Structure 1
Amino acid sequence: MAVFKVEGGHRLRGEITPQGAKNEALQILCATLLTPQRVVVRNIPRILDVMQLIELLRCMGVEVEQLAEDAYAFCARDIDFEYLKSDDYRQRCTRLRGSVMLIGPMLARFGVGYIPKPGGDKIGRRRLDTHFLGFQKLGAKFNFDIADEFFMVEGRELKGTYMLLDEASVTGTANIVMAAVMAKGRTTIYNAACEPYLQQLCKMLNRMGAKISGIASNLLEIEGVEALGGTEHRLLPDMIEVGSFIGMAAMNRSELTIKDVSFENLGIIPAQFARMGIRFEQRGDDIHIPQQDHYSIDTFLDGSIMTIADAPWPGLTPDLLSIFLVVATQANGAVLIHQKMFESRLFFVDKLIDMGAQIILCDPHRATVIGHDHRLCLRATRMTSPDIRAGVALLIAAMSAEGVSTIQNIDQIDRGYKDIDGRLNALGAKITRIDDCK
């Protein structure tokens, strides 16, 4: 198992381009099952989760052709349903949270879908009720084998209906949309997620022949069609990488230009960093972060402590709260970080406390951070990456600390960030990837 050795105190300088969006890629790749025709997807990030899903599709019988480093063509003429009952299929799916979105396309096109309980980040309870309640609303029958932790959904003639989702789940909405595009009649989905990546999925499906309206709102209307055709699609840049790089530049007092960020699709993210006191300039579709030795957190109008919380889009994505938290440790001022969605995502703060950060973990969902304003540097330490986003937050902390830190379990970081050590070293960081030596 590889680890990162991170020598802190090195400022970054230069330009960096964010990879294609991981969360969009998982949706789009699953959607290629909806048609027997060729679908070309570009700007695919070469990260662990995405590469595992591409290999899983290949094992399922999808013809996969690599056209360029970041471009693939998919042709799902036939699916090997015997493989879906194999141990290999089970093992591959349980390593990948996004595998749950295979069910919607399989149900729509073939009338049946199988999936074991998916894996992914260990960040708390991530229920799948929204997905399967939606399928049942469309007329599918659902069965869960508790002993084998295996889901089966069957519905040979799905019918459009009205549904009010119990939560605005992004993957749940994507899964239900993909199941509904070929259902008979009209499907109305209220309280639908409307993140840019979900919008991208809907736009791609429309190019394939689907009839989806209400895109970018929380009320989607879908007129079922008989079949979908092929198309080409380009993924957006990853907003989580963009936010990670903004926070990284600020905390390390670095000058950095982030290229081709698709600024219009970043939503509230830039404004939230501005509330942290972080200066930046929009230059066309780039973001330039100048070197700044101090950044001060705003307060509310009545002088009370600032709260940064996640919320459904257009609110702040929960994937960035770990970044805001670590960046706050060297701000001037205090902030309450409120992670509403996942009850275990803040537990990595004990490592930051070991490094000298002033953090009070109020409960599983809330942490108060009192910034050092760079008067005290964090101390180097040995730590373990519990999930993708916490792993990068710990990497940011290590890059600003005094001494050499060790980060274990960096496979978690590799699941979401392509060649992060190589890309940051090109900007002046000192990160070494080595085999673990206990």
Structure 2
Amino acid sequence: MSAFEIRGGTPLKGEIIPQGAKNEALQVISAVLLTAEKVTISNIPDIKDVNKLIELLGDLGVKVDKLSKDTYAFEAANIDLDFFHSDAFRSKGGSLRGSIMIVGPLLARYGKAAIPKPGGDKIGRRRLDTHFLGFEKLGAKFNYHPETGFFNVDASNLQGTYILLDEASVTGTANIVMAAVRAKGTTTIYNAACEPYLQQLCKMLNRMGAKISGIGSNLLTIEGVDSLGGTEHRLLPDMIEIGSFIGLAAMTGSEITIKNVQFKELGLIPEVFRRMGIRFEVKDDDIYIPAQDSYEIETFIDGSIMTIADAPWPGFTPDLLSIILVVATQAKGNVLIHQKMFESRLFFVDKLIDMGAQIILCDPHRATVMGLNKQASLRGIEMTSPDIRAGVSLLIAALSANGRSIIYNIEQIERGYQDIDTRLRALGADIRRIEAAPKGH
């Protein structure tokens, strides 16, 4: 089992380029199934979840050409629909939560699809109902077969309709949009997600010949078309990586420049880090974070303790709450972290407490952090990464801690972060990959 060995407590310095956005990649790569023509996508991150999806498309019959490290051409002219019922599809689709994203395009183009019950992070229940309720509104019929673990969907007659989503699910909205672009008539989706990645997908589909209006709002209107063509598309930089690197710079007292961040697409993310007391400058499209000896959390206007909570876009993304939490451990001041959108994402705080952090886990959704103001450094320990975002938060904590830390189960981290150890070493981090198993294994 691979692990990271980290010796922390050393300030870092240099420039780092964020990878392409993982969550956007899973959507737009799935969209290549909507057309028989060539679609070229660049700035694709070289990470396990994305690579698994590309491999899955190849198994389905999509012609995949890797043009460079981050650029692929896809041509979905000949899809093998029989592959859906194979053991290989069950194994690969079931191990990748993003595999649900191929259902909408396949329904739109072929009128049927099957998908094994998806896997992914162990961060509580993440419903797929929104996807299937949307497909059902468009006229699809689906059945779950517990004995095989497959969802089978029949959508031979998709009709445009009005859909009010039960939650503003990003993947649910994307999947329904991809199904609706080739449905007969007009589809209206209210309470649609409006994240930049969803906007990117809609803009890409419009370049392919779709007719989607209301992009960037929570009310999307889609006029169905008979066919879609090819296009070229470039992914946005990953906003979660950008936020992670801002947090890393603050925790380690480092001077770091994050290059080419597409600042206008970051929404509230920079402002939330400013509320944590982190100073930075925007130079052209780079974020420059100077070395800071300390950073002080703001209070609300009435003097009460700051609360930072996640919310659907344009609210603060839930994927960065764990980063904010770990950054707060070394801030001056106190903050209540409220994780509203997912269950069980705060349980990694016991590792931070073992490292010396002052945190009260109030319940599965809320934690109060009392900042140490860098007066008492965290200490290195051995720990295991439970999921992608918590894993990177623990990695940031380890880089700021005194002494040696080991993080096991780094496969979880590498599902979302490309070459993370190599890129951190380029900034001066003392991190290396070792082969080791947690004690007791």
TM-score (norm 2): 0.99
TM alignment of 1:421-436, pairs within 5 A:
421-436=421-436
Q: Secondary structure at the match of 1:243?
A: helix
Partner of 2:249: 249
Which amino acid in the other structure matches residue 374 of structure 1?
K
Amino acid at match of 1:290: P
1:147 deviates by 2.6
Can you give the 5+ residue segments of structure 1 that lack an aligned partner in the other structure?
none
Moved more, 145-154 or 174-183: 145-154
Matches for 1:393-404 after TM superposition, within 5 Å = 393-404=393-404
- Tell me what 2:286 maps to: 286
SS in 1 for 2:57: helix
Q: How far does the alpha carbon of each residue in 1:181-211 deviate from its partner, in whole angstroms, 9 at most, with x for none? A: 0000000000000000000000000000000
1:86 corresponds to = 86
Q: Counterpart amino acid of 2:197?
A: Y
Q: Distance in 2 between matches of 1:163 and 1:80?
A: 31
Q: Give a deviation string over 1:366-418, Cα, whole Å, max 9, x none.
A: 00000100110111111000000000000000001111100000000100000
State the identity as a percent.
71
Tell me which residue corresponds to 1:65: 65
Q: Does 1:213 align with 2:213?
A: yes
> 1:342 offset after TM fit, Å?
1.0
Which deviates more, 167-176 or 151-160? 151-160
**1:153 is aligned to 2:153:** yes
Within the alignment, does 1:100 sit opposite 2:97 as a pair?
no
The residue identity in structure 1 corresponding to 2:91 is Q
Question: Which segment drifts farther, 197-206 or 337-346?
Answer: 337-346
The one-letter code of the counterpart of 1:306 is M
1:146: how far off? 2.1
In the alignment, which residue of structure 2 is the partner of 1:194? 194
Is 2:44 aligned against 1:14? no
Of the structure 1 ranges 421-430 and 149-158, higher mean CA displacement relative to structure 2 is found in 149-158
TM-score (norm 1): 0.99
Q: Counterparts of 2:347 and 2:154 in 1: how far apart (Å)?
A: 39
Q: Secondary structure at the match of 2:81?
A: coil
CA drift of 1:152 comes to 1.1
Distance in 1 (alpha carbons) for counterparts of 2:202 and 2:340: 27
Aligned residue number for residue 307 of structure 2:
307
Partner amino acid for 2:215?
A: I
Instruction: Please state how far the C-alpha of 1:94 moved relative to its aligned partner.
Output: 1.4
Alignment of 1:36-435 (within 5 A): 36-435=36-435
Secondary structure, aligned partner of 1:288: strand
Whole-Å Cα distance in 1 between the matches of residues 349 and 87 of structure 2?
37
Question: What count of residue pairs does the alignment treat as equivalent?
Answer: 438
For each residue in 1:5-63, what CA deviation from the matched residue of structure 2 results, as whole angstroms up to 9, or x when unmatched?
00011111010010000000000010000000000000000011111110011011100
Structure 2 gap segments, 5+ residues each: none
Deviation at 1:98, TM superposition (A): 0.6
Q: Deviations over 1:149-168 (max 9, x none)?
A: 21111111100000100000
Task: Encode CA deviations 1:319-348: one digit per residue, 9 max, x unaligned.
Answer: 000000000000000000000011110000
Amino acid at match of 1:7: R
Q: Secondary structure at the match of 1:398?
A: helix
